[in-house]
Amino acid sequence: MEILASWLDSPLGRFLVYSAPYLVVSGVGILLAVIHWQRHSKASLLLLFACLLMMVCVLVYPVVNLIDPDWFQGLGLRTIVLLLQSVSGIASTGLFIAASLSQRSSETELTLTAGVQTSQRSPYGGGPPPIVSSPPPAQALSPSDDPKARLRNLEDLHNDGLLTDAEYQAKREEILGEV
C-alpha cells in the first residue's frame, strides 16, 4: 500500500491518474470518428478534431512539467500554459457540441419530409388516398325507352341518392301513367 501511495505522490503517478480517463475517452472518440467517417463525415471530422484537441489539452502541462519542473518557475509561463490548456479545453468542448449537432438539420428535414409523406398516405397503406370525383350527372329519361328499363333506371337514380323520395314517386307515377 505504501508503494501505491508513494507512486501516486510522484509527478508521473499524478499525471497518469489525472489524464488516463481523458486519454481513454479521446481514444474512443477517435475510434468512433474513424468508424463512422463514411456515414457522417462532417460530424466525424469535428469529433476527430475535438478528441485530438482534448489530448493536447490534457498532455501539454503535465508533459512539460515532467520534463522540466523548474521551467515554469518565475517566468509567468505557468499561467500562460494553464490559460492555453483552459482555452483548448473549451474549444474541444465546443467541437464536441458542434459534432453532436452537425447532422441534426438534415435528419430533421428528412423526418419532417417523411412525416408529410406519411400524412398524405391512406390509413390502409399504399400511396396517397384516391381523389373522389363527383358522381356522373343524372341522365335524362327519354320517353322512347322501355317502361321497365325506365323504372329500373329511375330506381337506380333513387338508390344512388340522386333523386329524393318525392321526385322518385312523381317520376314513377308519370312512367306508370304512360303505360
**CA–CA separation, 40 and 62 (whole Å):** 34
Higher pLDDT, 27 or 109: 27
pLDDT of residue 38: 85
pLDDT band at residue 169 under the 50/70/90 scheme = very high
pLDDT of residue 13: 78
Listed range (49-53, 142-146, 166-170) with the worst mean pLDDT: 142-146
Per the CB < 8 A criterion, the answer to whether 22 and 34 are in contact is no
| Nearest in space to 152 (alpha carbons), one of 165, 168, 134, 137 | 168
- The gap from C-alpha 128 to its chain's centroid, in whole angstroms, comes to 24
> Using CA of residue 101, residue 103, residue 106, residue 107, what is the dihedral sign?
negative
Average pLDDT, the chain: 76
Residue 66 has pLDDT above 60, yes or no: yes
| Cβ partners under 8 Å of residue 29, min gap 6 | 47, 48, 50, 51, 54
Mean pLDDT, range 76-93, rounded to an integer: 79
Residue 110 has pLDDT above 60, yes or no: no
Residue 170 has pLDDT above 90, yes or no: yes
Q: Is 56 exposed, middle or buried (0-12, 13-18, 19+ CB in 10 A)?
A: middle
Higher pLDDT, 128 or 177: 177
- In order of 32, 41, 44, 86, 108, the CA distances from 101 in angstroms are 16, 13, 11, 23, 11
pLDDT of residue 147: 83
| Nearest in space to 63 (alpha carbons), one of 6, 8, 11, 7 | 11
pLDDT of residue 89: 80
**CA–CA separation, 27 and 23 (whole Å):** 6
Residue 105 has pLDDT above 80, yes or no: no
Per the CB < 8 A criterion, the answer to whether 33 and 95 are in contact is no
Quick: pLDDT tens for 85-102. Answer: 788 888 888 888 888 777
pLDDT of residue 33: 85
Per the CB < 8 A criterion, the answer to whether 169 and 151 are in contact is no
Predicted TM-score (pTM) above 0.85 = no
C-beta pairs of 140-144 under 8 Å, 24+ apart in sequence:
141/171, 141/175, 143/178
Listed range (20-34, 76-90, 95-109, 121-135) with the worst mean pLDDT: 121-135
